[in-house]
A and B are shown apart, each in its own frame.
Chain A
């Protein structure tokens, strides 16, 4: 089943990390997945984690240039969440009874493999960030995560001007790059 124009617009907005679209999709789909996880041996926190990871998969997919979704967003999120949760149950051997069967599930294996790869990369950067120490960590986060400009950063971290802050940022970046590639080779 192809997507309606409306769904395509929503997907595009998700890819752009637009809050309104995220909220709409969240509101529409969370309880279905929550019900699935909680009635299959999961907790409320498990449900939240699984759903948010599925949203992450949807986000990655919407960002990729050759993106297409062959089913409704709802079906897709359900299929991904279901796969993620079953995998987790198998890993922790909490599975005791057969999971109740639901209709309309689409194959998501490939997408999840891709997600796993991207997640590995993310974890490598996260570990490198965890090792860099302060003030580098906060400084780099201010720039790359919170998108502050050098002027704001200078004021915030107490550098006399933007050039000093910039210098410090490059110092941190050189260090982080080293840590990143060290992690990379270990992984």
Chain B
């Protein structure tokens, strides 16, 4: 019997799924083969632990959901301590840090003012400005060349069976992306393509069929992680009729669309999702849904076949939950989901310009 068969037989035995005859034969074998007996004992312990692990995870996720539901309903809220105690607490906690920061700030200020007086240019400012423009022109040219070269250096095996899955976007500048789980169905290998057209190798960190979310990690030396993401993620709920927009790859190029939130729940009253009226096509799956403040309120995942323009999105609070579970399940991970958006109040044009660099096309190599 090989390992796999053994695993199956032992599991059936432990779950009581054997008929009496088979069970008798198996117990006979256990008596005669001490090493088999040992394996069964091991499996018993392991499967029990596995079941308990599942139970604990389900309970934890229930606790997490409950906290959010109650918070949203206003049943529990952050405590308003008397300001004085709060400030004293903070002072006690951080006074060391404050002292160090203050001294560093002092030294830096002295240093900078010294440097400034040393290097203040005698030439007029205009020349410098022009020079700078020349340098940036040069930089632009060379980056164009780089893009050209990259086009020829094709990483994906041309004979591979590729499906242009959908859209994904950065959740943490370290190279973590979020997308719809169904986009990755049957994937053997995943590449993401940036707005500039570079293919980057990515690996699947987690797929959660329940919320239809997945997390990818870009594992490619060509990936330059941005200093910070312009958009944040919204934890709260969005109001009906609120304007939203999305960016995605229904075709080879990034496409912008706008619409509004038309219902607070998804198909059949699914509370994990919401309904948006927007133009979306296959390939938009996994794209971000942003509100006017540049906060991600959801991830596009499905469209109702029978109605035009009706699209469903997974609410972004599910991302927080998934990431929390993920960070919790692996000590080495510390994915941070940013809440505040730094493009609040910026006009739509500029917002899109900033956001689009962090939206990637997902290419799935089928296994």
The count of A-to-B residue pairs whose CB atoms sit within 8 angstroms is 131
Q: Which residues of A contact B57 (CB under 8 A)?
A: 141, 145
Closest to A35 in B: B79
Against B, the Cβ 8 Å flags (1 = close, 0 = not) of A148-177 are 100010001110000000110011011011
If A56-B56, A125-B50 touch, whether A27 touches B93 (CB-CB below 8 Å) is: no
| Interface residue? B205 (CB, 8 A) | yes
| Interface residue? B55 (CB, 8 A) | yes
Q: Which residues of B contact A39 (CB under 8 A)?
A: 81, 85
Instruction: With both chains docked as a complex, state the minimum distance between the C-beta of B45 and any C-beta of chain A, in angstroms.
Output: 9
Dominant secondary structure at the A interface: helix
Q: Which of B64-72, B101-109, B276-284, B307-315 contacts A (4 or more CB under 8 A)?
A: B64-72
Of B50, B65, B329, the residue contacting A144 (CB under 8 A) is B50
B:10-58 near A, CB below 8 Å: 11, 42-43, 46, 49-58
| Interface residue? B113 (CB, 8 A) | no
Q: In whole angstroms, what is the CA distance A118 to B4 when docked?
A: 29
Interface residues on A, range: 35 or more
Closest to B61 in A: A145
Interface centre among B8, B51, B207 (most CB of A within 10 A): B207
| Cβ contact within 8 Å between B63 and A130 | no
| Interface residue? B162 (CB, 8 A) | no
Against B, the Cβ 8 Å flags (1 = close, 0 = not) of A9-32 are 000000001010011001100110
Of A96, A146, A181, the residue contacting B210 (CB under 8 A) is A146
| Cβ contact within 8 Å between B70 and A125 | no
Q: In whole angstroms, what is the CA distance A148 to B206 when docked?
A: 16
Q: Which residues of B contact A134 (CB under 8 A)?
A: 203-207
Q: Which residues of A contact B366 (CB under 8 A)?
A: 158
If A44-B78, A170-B8 touch, whether A137 touches B206 (CB-CB below 8 Å) is: yes
Task: In the A-B complex, list the 10 residue pairs whose CB atoms are closest, starting with the nearest.
Answer: A158-B186, A144-B54, A130-B330, A125-B53, A138-B207, A145-B54, A134-B204, A145-B57, A170-B7, A170-B4
Given contacts A19-B65, A122-B56, A180-B49, 16 further A-B contacts (CB under 8 A): A26-B67, A38-B79, A44-B78, A56-B59, A59-B59, A96-B92, A121-B52, A134-B204, A134-B205, A135-B207, A144-B50, A147-B54, A152-B209, A173-B11, A177-B7, A177-B42
21 contacts between A and B (CB under 8 A): A23-B70, A26-B66, A35-B79, A39-B85, A41-B89, A44-B78, A96-B92, A125-B50, A125-B53, A129-B329, A134-B204, A134-B205, A138-B204, A140-B50, A144-B54, A145-B54, A158-B186, A166-B8, A173-B11, A174-B7, A177-B42
